[in-house]
Amino acid sequence: MPELIADLSDLRGDCAQCFGLCCVALPFARSADFARDKPAGTPCPNLQGDHRCGIHADLRKKGFTGCTVYDCFGAGQKVSQVTFGGQDWRTGSKEHTRRMFDAFPVVRQLHELLWYLTEALGLPAARPVHADLRRALAETERLTRQTPEELAALDVAAHRQQVNVLLLRTSELARAGSKKGKGKGGGKDRRGADLIGARLRGADLRGASLRGAYLIAADLTGADLRDADMIGADLRDADLSDADLTGAFFLTQPQVNAARGSAGTRLPGSVSRPAHWATSG
C-alpha cells in the first residue's frame, strides 16, 4: 500500500514541480475570469518555456482572475513527477502529451477527494467512520498512482459517489456536535440552495449544511459560519468580510480565493488568507 497523505499541506499545488499542466491541458473561455478563449491542449500565451506564468504577479490586473482562484490540489506535480516520471510534455511524443493532458483532470478530481478525506479524518466527531475513511483514502491514493491508460478508463464519478456517502456521514456527525444557531439558517440543511445575491449579513449559519449552495455575490458580512459544511459551495464574489468560519469544514482554497474578505474574516487553519483580500473593498 502506498504511503498515505500525511496532511493537507501535501495536497497543494507546487508549480515548481509541475509542467504548467493547468495552463495547457485545461480550456477557458473569455469571461469575467479570463481575458481570452483557450482550447484544451493549447498552451496559454502567458506560459513561458520554463513552465512559469509570465504575468503571475499581474494576473488579476490582466483579466485572468480565474487563474488566481484555481488550485490543482497537488495533482499537477503528481502527474508530472509520478505518473510520467518527470518527462516534459514539450519533449515527449504527441501521444505522450495527449495522455498527460487526459490524466491531469482525472488526478485533479482524485486529489480533491483526498483533501476532503484527509480533513474528515481530522474531525474528532467523525471517529465512528474513521476506519472507513482511512480505507477510502488508501483506495483513492492508489487510484492516483495508476498508469495513464488506467486513469483514462477510470469512472471517477462512480468513485466520487462512493466517497460522498462517507463525507455526508462525516458532515452529519460533525454538525451534530456543534451548537445550532437559532437565527436565520442556523443548523439547517441548505444543500444546493439558491442563495445568489442573498442578504445574509450577520446571519447565524452555525452548523449549517451549505453543500453545493449557490452563494454567488451573497452578502455574508459578519455571518457566523462556524462548524458549517462548505463542500462545493459556490462563493464567487461572496462577501465574507468579518465573517467567522472557525471550524467550517470541507472548505477549499479555491472557494476562499473566489470570495471577498477582510482582515476581520476568521478562517479555519486548512486555508490561507488570499493576498487580494488586502485590497478588496
The rounded distance, in Å, linking the Cα atoms of 87 and 92 is: 7
- pLDDT of 182 reads 45
pLDDT of residue 196: 98
Of 108, 103, 111, 87, the C-alpha closest to 151 is: 103
Specify the pLDDT at position 1. 37
pLDDT single digits (tens) 39-87: 999 999 999 999 999 999 999 999 999 999 999 999 999 999 999 999 9
Q: Quick one: pLDDT at residue 2?
A: 45
Q: Are 148 and 102 in contact (CB under 8 A)?
A: yes
Res 110 pLDDT > 80: yes
Asked if pLDDT for residue 279 goes beyond 80, the answer is no
Q: What is the model's pLDDT at position 181?
A: 44
In tens, the pLDDT along 187-218 reads 789 999 999 999 999 999 999 999 999 999 99
**Per-residue pLDDT reduced to its tens digit, 81-103:** 999 999 999 998 999 999 999 99
Which long-range contacts does 34-38 make (Cβ < 8 Å, 24+ apart)? Answer: 34/63, 34/64, 34/65, 34/66, 34/67, 35/62, 35/63, 35/64
Residue 154 has pLDDT above 70, yes or no: yes
Q: Which residues pair with 194 in a beta bridge?
A: 214
